[in-house]
Amino acid sequence: MLNQKAPHFSELKKYLDSKKYNFLVLYFYPKDNTPSCTKEACSIRDNFAELEKSKIKIIGVSPDSSESHDKFKTKYELPFQLIPDEDKSLATSYGVWGEKSMYGRKYFGILRKTFIIDSSGKIIRVIDKVDTANHANQILDEMKNNKIF
């Protein structure tokens, strides 16, 4: 998907039309209120001012409901948007719904991955190996190291 147009969804159009941000970071995570997903969200929360200053819009996506997202955002004071993807259509279009394995058991779920999308709607970076506890710094480092800004 790298260097291709990002699959369309309503928030992508709003981002492209707004001109407020130079980049959209779309991060997919498995489930609200789980240890790794909470670390990831809190890493972004704790570095949100720097991300905003860099004109980066953050959107998290999981198969959880809007109600679950609202509770998660309130509990951890998350200042960014979370999108429900209960039918997994967005995850499927970004190629992050797939087979996983835990304790020898195979099942389908969200493959944790982050996409950095530029103001033209093109995917310019993909972070495949997410460091949940340091994800915000990972995003910023990815952009700085690749001279994106």
Provide the residue-wise pLDDT of the chain in tens; the chain has 149 residues: 888 999 988 888 888 888 889 999 999 999 999 999 999 999 999 999 999 999 999 999 999 999 999 999 999 999 999 999 999 999 999 999 999 988 999 999 999 999 999 999 999 999 999 999 999 999 999 988 877 76
Catalytic residue among 37, 58, 78, 127: 37
What region, left, alpha or beta, does residue 56 occupy, with left being phi > 0 and alpha being psi -120 to 50 degrees?
beta
What are the phi and psi torsion angles at 15 (to 5°)?
A: -60, -50
Q: Which CATH architecture has domain 10-145?
A: 3-Layer(aba) Sandwich (3.40)
**Residue 42 falls in the annotated catalytic set:** no
